[in-house]
Chain A
């Protein structure tokens, strides 16, 4: 099949079949897109959009603005629109999100109505763009797809406050309005089904991907001098990358520090920031381990990629992890991984084959895993080789884009038989009641 899709719009009600040739176009809604990087959604939407564009899908990304980034640009065929993300003060984060969505929806609508072929599918990422996704679906009468990267009940390990309940209910509403929900792991599929009581056929699993070529590009570079900036030559580097928040289990790693140091001379490098930073610093100070634990804060891409290449072991001690992209990145960077046996991480890593799995929330177990890798080079090489082969095989963006495109086509096939598809062609006089009101 050529790069353009043929969508056969079936007017089931009228018994007509009218082939309409057009390029499949999708509008991605995401609250973060590079250079705005807050969590994993940003790189996900970036690589997914680029790979979809290479697979013949026209992608428009509507996202929040960022200082220095242009309001409109084209990246490898992907049209990126950055909209005013609401600068007026808001009483709290959730209110900001809903206000930002008002601007986003307005700008997205202004864009979509001007496109000659319109938009075939709206694709929202997480509750942060819930209201704009739902609104656009109804004003343009096009299917809405949602990727649920995470859930509030998972992030907070239960619902404790009104704000969390509100966000959880917004997520439930979003999944209700969505035609299909994409999750990045089998674990997340069952978690989302459980959290929102959804039918199985509403969910689809498409893994998150990783791009190993950003690391192979660094293969020729001599990183000795770079490494010396972070650790002494005799120290092994133990790397953590992630937000410093409870669900990432960073406190488990900090509690494992002294247990590791009993066996191996190592330097713990912690990249990322978050509300737990002060608390963690206090623990490290009280242990008198300031010279062994380095809080590096947020690192730019160039630094992060090099750190991942230098790391003698990468640690992902999450308590809740829908997918675990950092583990995948470490595997692509040929760094051995120690992960907690939970969520998406359980699916990415096979114990004793592509990494080491340890018990979640257990510093002894985590220390054991780190020491096992740092003290056995042969074992380490074996893990790294297997892990690299696995990511080339399973987590390739091109294959992921093809699977995503297939979901778009399936949804549009179902949509073409719905009354929304033929009503807009043949509007009928209104009856006593308006459907769906």
Chain B
């Protein structure tokens, strides 16, 4: 199996707890013979690296240096994420089983890659805008919510850590319950459950 993970933080760039989580996850995936490519952002450490844990990392920076907000920064950066993911695709016999995208930041790239190259994606949710800015209806929050909605709509499966999060997503975005899979990262069966989620998305056919 060959996967690409999109995360806007990955060590050494640590903003919140997502970086450590994605790092632990990708290490586990490699141990389970999954070819793992992480596409992430870094201001200057750009390029492709084979990490010590066997993960291929691809760090991109934003070609547009000046921004007026998080949204313009994210939306332009997505083109670089998409470019690198396309490069991985074309260098891998055009066979990528799935993209796992963490939070809304790189949802646009996952959506356009799905449209162009038929790569399915899992939308893994750490938090949603409605929790970060409750009941906010500013244009800024609405725009982020619309990107989250697009992610839920276009994703083949949604991956959450708790049932509470699942219920929030259903409440705010009316996502069908069977589309959301709860995988508890603290359980012993964490890796196994995640792999079975990946297999259900890629069809479980392309185990290499």
Contact = CB atoms under 8 A, between A and B. Distances in A.
Mutual binders A and B: yes
Interface of A: 86, 88-92, 94-95, 98-99, 101-102, 105-107, 109-110, 112-113, 131, 134-136, 138-141, 162-163, 165-166, 169-170, 173, 176, 423-424, 427-428, 430, 432-437
B99 to A, nearest CB: 13
B24 interface: no
A101 B68 CA distance: 17
B82 A138 contact: yes
A423 B79 contact: no
Nearest to A112: B116
Interface stretch (B11-19, B89-97, B199-207): B89-97
A369 B86 CA distance: 57
B138 interface: yes
Contact of B63 (A136, A138, A169, A435): A169
Interface of B: 47-48, 50, 58, 63-69, 71-72, 75-76, 78-79, 82-84, 86-88, 90-94, 108, 111-113, 115-118, 138-140, 142-143, 145-147, 150
A163 B67 CA distance: 7
A95 B72 CA distance: 6
Given A98-B72, A112-B116, A437 B47 contact: yes
A221 to B, nearest CB: 47
B71 A437 contact: no
A162 B66 CA distance: 6
A270 B88 CA distance: 55
Q: Is the interface of A mostly helix, strand, loop or mixed?
A: helix
A105 B112 contact: yes
A199 B146 CA distance: 40
B68 A166 contact: yes
A434 B91 contact: yes
Contact of B143 (A95, A112, A131, A134): A95
A141 B143 contact: no
Contacts of B91: 427-428, 430, 434-435
Nearest to A101: B75
Contacts of A107: 115
B64 A169 contact: yes
Contacts of B65: 169
Contacts of A95: 68-69, 71-72, 75, 143
A86 B143 CA distance: 10
With most chain A CB atoms within 10 A of its CB, the pick from B84, B93, B112, B139 is: B112
B87 A437 contact: yes
A138 B86 contact: yes
B87 A106 contact: no
9 contacts: A89-B143, A91-B143, A95-B68, A95-B72, A107-B115, A162-B68, A427-B91, A430-B92, A435-B87
Given A102-B78, A105-B112, 18 more contacts: A91-B143, A98-B75, A99-B147, A102-B75, A107-B115, A109-B116, A112-B116, A131-B75, A131-B76, A131-B79, A140-B116, A162-B67, A166-B67, A166-B72, A169-B64, A428-B91, A435-B87, A437-B84
